[in-house]
Amino acid sequence: MTKLAIVESPAKAKTISSFLGSEWTVLASYGHIRDLPTKGLSVDVDNHFKVDYELRARKDVISDIKAALKDADELYLATDEDREGEAIAWHLQEVLKPRIPVKRMVFHEITRSAIDEAVSNARDIDYRMVDAQDSRRIVDRLFGYPVSEVVWRKIRQGLSAGRVQSPAVRLVVDRERERMAFVRADYWDLAAQFPTEPSFTASLHSIDGARIASGKDFDQAGVAKEGVVVLDEAGADQLVTALAPPAQTAAQAGGSTFTVRSVESKESKQKPKAPFITSTLQQVGGSKLRMTARQVMQVAQGLYERGYITYMRTDSTTLSADAVVTARRLIEEKFGRDHLPDEPRTYAKKAKGAQEAHEAIRPAGDAWRTAEQLDGELRGHDLALYRLIYQRTLASQMVDARLNTVTLKIDAPAQDGRMTEWSASGRTVVFPGYLAVYGFHGEDTEEEDDDQARLPAVAEGDVLPRPEVTADGHTTQPPARYTEATLVKALEDLGIGRPSTYASIMGTILARDYVWKKGTALVPSWDAFAVVNLLTGHFTSLVEYDFTARMEESLDEIASGTGQREPFLNQFWFGNGTPGLTDLVKKALEQADPALINAVPIGVDEDGEPVVVRNGKFGPYVKRGEDTASVPQDLPPDELTIDRAMELLSAPKGDEPIGTDPESGLPVFAKLGRFGPYVQLGDADTLPEKQKPKMASLFKDMALESITVDDALKLLSLPRVVGVDPADGIEITAQNGRYGPYITKEKDSRSLESEQQLFDLTLEQALALLAQPKQFGRRGAPKPPLRELGEDVASGQPMVLKEGRFGPYVTDGETNASLRAGDTVEEITPERAMELLQIRREAAPAKKKASARKKAPAKKKKAAAAKAPAKKKAPAKKAAAKKTAAEDPSVAGDGEA
């Protein structure tokens, strides 16, 4: 009997086919083969919400599957075990219309035993799960298209709204608003370094019984809570002097004596964390490995498809009985019976809307290998992520760590009569328990390891040697911006989205420029503020943080059979007694005021005139009455204070000249553009038709507010002819480039040390500089990369940062991606480079992908089958690229128009 199995990706097909016999053919569908049409609402809301799905799969993929189906006696639909996988299986059945028995085959790990069990326990398609996934997809479209139309009309074209992406953007904007409202406060504290063995440091705790203020004692307005002492710099310095007079011992001066008042010892237990689910894996992958959510999912999917870990899209912390047996056996073998609890540990999932549909993420099979055993077989991020999963799984089934914390309280009377109290604490591991997996320290948490300093053996009443006392100043910090890891945690805690959507949410809000990255922090754009203003003002119920959680509960009810698809969709769209989405859209189109939506208050000037930020055709600008000024694109919103706004507004206006060039008679302008300040000679009113004005950027030490016409003309005189090389008569010029000043002689160039050298460099100095060894090899050779950034996880190719005609960009040899706002040549990380490349791949025009497929139809046809080695010759990178696009949940969309 011939059996045909269909999975989503070629990698998965290859692994599964290795476990099945010669009577099996395993083909790849390359993810979703059908989806909603790309244009229009495409949902008949008046006809039971009927959708006419369109075919998305390549013709050669479908023809290969249909050809294999003709020779098969049974069809196994072996797509993923979640709702999305169930829907893909249903779409395959609808398109193929098989006349042979159809079976649904599900598994949570790709091992021989799991595949054999899945074949033995094949079932029918679960149409309730299909209805739930279909309902989610329809709601995303019903939300995305109409609401995005409102966004286009009230803000600008090119923006979008989405059921999950919009609450995510709102979280980032709300955090930035907290930072904008935050008032910083200064405070000081004291530290005493004791020359004991071992040495240790104690912190000033209180003065005369009143506790010294720390950062957590100040509110958003910078006001300290009652009952704490706020030390300023003068008070801190005065106390240092009163405690330890310089160049005198305590005995000589009759000064302060530091006496141990108490020694407290307390033993505590520390429990291991639950095994990984999708969201926690993304969080730890981000904090420990500096990977984006998308990169974590790409690596995890590869590990799953090659049989190293279990299914990576799950919100269940449960381990199977077999997995618990394996974990307990390994713990006893590697760490001893005393590291094993009497009973297996279980973990309750507390996140909102958890489905508990799958097992937690763990090593696959029943013979787990350590990361050290896989070193060489796996490498880079593959190995690092596997190590985290292995360690977390084992640790979750081990005993608690036992810790001992010793706290010293120290009294020291100051010479001015005040009594100061100091404290120091140290922690030791009494019994490592689960920490043994991590080498006794450094668990996979977002926080840094909190091992405290060792303390000397002292007793109550001991007089300590005189310490060195120092004062330290601090400034309170606003709430930290979200990173991808912390935003994923916030989404999970609020029940927004599902594990499979987190990576696509991050990719979408970055690709749409709703947020940009400053290091790893997510900074909202001014467009994001405008969209959130619109949605919270006119679609309040749909962007409340619990809306998505409530919707997921409804989808769970549909999947379990306690709810129905059509009543759920009716309630969402028509309202049935309460305003539905169609009512909200109509009202917003009629009533939403673009002037209010697009305004973000910054403050008021000295006369009480309000200053706001607005979005314009050429980017954001500050506005005070009729006065406006552009906002630099790399200026975070919380740094646009009222003082900074007034500086921008007081800078020379682009339409008012700062003087006139005496030679040409043309006006000279000083302007602030999106890429910084610059000067300009002439304009459309004073230059011949179609002639562009000459422009020059300001030097780094120049300010737009103080630029003079003489300074501007000096800048506009560049490039400067330094002289002519007497040896060959070729001219040497000095000019300013994107990456600094340089001299050039035909195609030969050398960098200058300062911008001032552009005007001061002599011909002799220039000739000496050109005589030095060339920086970039032989004449005409391509410039070397600005930086090398390691290997790209998706393509497997080396990434380099290069200087292009339009600025720096990162490339893996096939895909080029320009750096964005917040990215710098010096600070960009390999993880950020991979993210930019992936965003660029996904934004590539569809017609380019189609033409690439036309070039090699034979190889692509063979790439789908995984029955015999002869049928696996498709280039790996093209198969991987297709898989990434097809299997990424963002293909199904998040209500984006």
Residues known to be catalytic: 311
Rounded Cα distance, 37 and 43, in Å? 10
Going by DSSP bridges, is the β-strand pair 54-55/24-28 parallel, antiparallel, or unpaired? unpaired
Asked whether the beta carbons of 407 and 233 are under 8 A apart, the reply is no
Q: How buried is 297 (Cβ within 10 angstroms: 0-12 exposed, 13-18 middle, 19+ buried)?
A: buried
For residue 280, what are the contacts with CB-CB under 8 A and spacing of at least 6?
273, 274
E-strand ranges in 709-835 read 720-724, 731-737, 740-745, 748-751, 787-791, 798-804, 807-811, 816-818
- Residues with Cβ within 8 Å of 720's Cβ and at least 6 positions away in sequence, in order, are 733, 734, 735, 758, 759
Q: State the angle between helix axes of 278-289 and 293-305 in degrees (0 to 180), rounded to the nearest 10.
A: 110
Residue 719: asked if its preceding bond is cis (omega within 30°), the reply is yes
Helix ranges (DSSP H) in 71-185 = 83-96, 112-120, 127-154, 165-181
Residue corresponding to tokens 């995305």:
144
Residue with tokens 């043994």: 436
Range 335-368 burial, b when 16+ CB lie within 10 A, else e: beeebbeeeebebebebbbbbebbbbbbbbbeeb
CA 553 to chain centre: 27
Task: Return the closest-CA partner of residue 225 out of 204, 237, 210, 239.
Answer: 210
CB neighbour class for 591 (10 Å; exposed up to 12, middle 13-18, buried from 19)? exposed
Q: How many whole angstroms separate alpha carbon 317 and alpha carbon 297?
A: 18
State the Cα–Cα distance between residues 526 and 600, nearest whole angstrom: 8
516 close to 510: Cβ distance less than 8 angstroms: yes
Up-side HSE of residue 611: CA atoms within 13 Å toward CB?
A: 24
DSSP class of residue 897 equals -
Three-class SS of residue 140? helix
At residue 86, φ and ψ (nearest 5 deg) are -65, -40
CB 382 within 8 A of CB 298: no
Angstrom distance (rounded) from CA 636 to CA 182: 14
- The candidate with the shortest Cα–Cα distance to 56, out of 19, 30, 84, 94, is 30
Q: Strand, coil or helix: what is 417?
A: coil
Are the beta carbons of 203 and 188 closer than 8 angstroms?
no
